[in-house]
Amino acid sequence: MTLFQEFHHIVQRVGETVAVPQIEEVLLPSHGKEEGKQDEFGFLLLADGSVGPFYTSFDNSLQLIQQELSRGLQQQTDPVVLASKLGDDRLHINALALGALNAISQFLMRRSGFDPTAAPVEAALSEPAGRIGMVGYFGSVTERYLAQGYRITLVEKNPARVPAIPGMEVSTEPAVLAGCDYILCTASTLINNTLWEILNAVSPATVIKLMGPSASCLPDPLFARGVDLVAGIMIDDPECLRRALSRGESWGGCGKRYQLSSGGYPGWEALLARCRF
């Protein structure tokens, strides 16, 4: 199975085993962006309060998502059906489908009693060692590692959005990551389907961390394909999120960020088994 097919299989199994809450709302970023902010996210909310983030800043994705919602996609209340569209060639549909997958994932974690924010992570995976590679520009993270003396190789499809910084090499080609020991990769690669390019470009010994709100999914298929760490966010205050988005303010304080590795994560089948009782 491909990555997306495996996610489809997992979501289908979850939907067949437990009653997945319906989609209650799709929240989108306001038109006014925070100053200097280049990345925006939407959120798919389920009736039980589970929240699935998704990236909206590819090309004109936000505008197209708004059009889809105005044409009736808002009436699609089954997140399992929406998640089955994951892998669609249209970026905005793929983004919404990833939001549905993330929401179902968060629901399963909550329903099973698994707290990703308390999951242990192997120390060797937590912090970089050697040369750092990045896929997507993480401003504050980049500055922190450069200040610590690391050199960074950055792959960015849109180099114009990246400031010129000493100690950082910028390229559009994943092949430059071959010499890196630790990769920080944006989860938006799940939307534009470029994760395979990254995985194929690096050594099996390279530690790969997939990170960002869009990585708030069940990580099993990612671990199986060589990703070592999956870092997402659990939104635990939907009302805080609604207020922040309506005001164009930061929503980071509305949830808790977490990291999962295979050693501290029981697997989706174990989580689902807990929900049967």
Please work out, in degrees rounded to the nearest 5, the angle formed at the alpha carbon of residue 74 by the alpha carbons of 248 and 233: 50
Matching residue, tokens 């962006």: 33
Q: Which domains does the chain have, with CATH numbers?
A: 3-118+241-249+266-274 (3.30.390)
42 contacts 30 by C-beta, under 8 angstroms: no
pLDDT of residue 73: 64
* 115: alpha, beta or left? (left if phi > 0; alpha if psi -120 to 50): beta
pLDDT of residue 36: 47
In angstroms, the CA 241 to CA 253 distance is 9
pLDDT of residue 32: 47
Residue 164: CB atoms within 10 Å: 7
Total-model pTM: 0.94
In angstroms, the CA 223 to CA 169 distance is 28
What element of type H or E holds 186? Answer: strand 182-186
Strand partners, 155: 135, 171
- 10-residue mean pLDDT profile of the chain (277 residues): values are 96 96 93 58 96 94 90 77 95 96 98 96 83 90 89 89 86 93 95 94 94 97 97 96 93 96 96 86
Amino acid at 239: E
260 contacts 218 by C-beta, under 8 angstroms: no
pLDDT of residue 129: 82
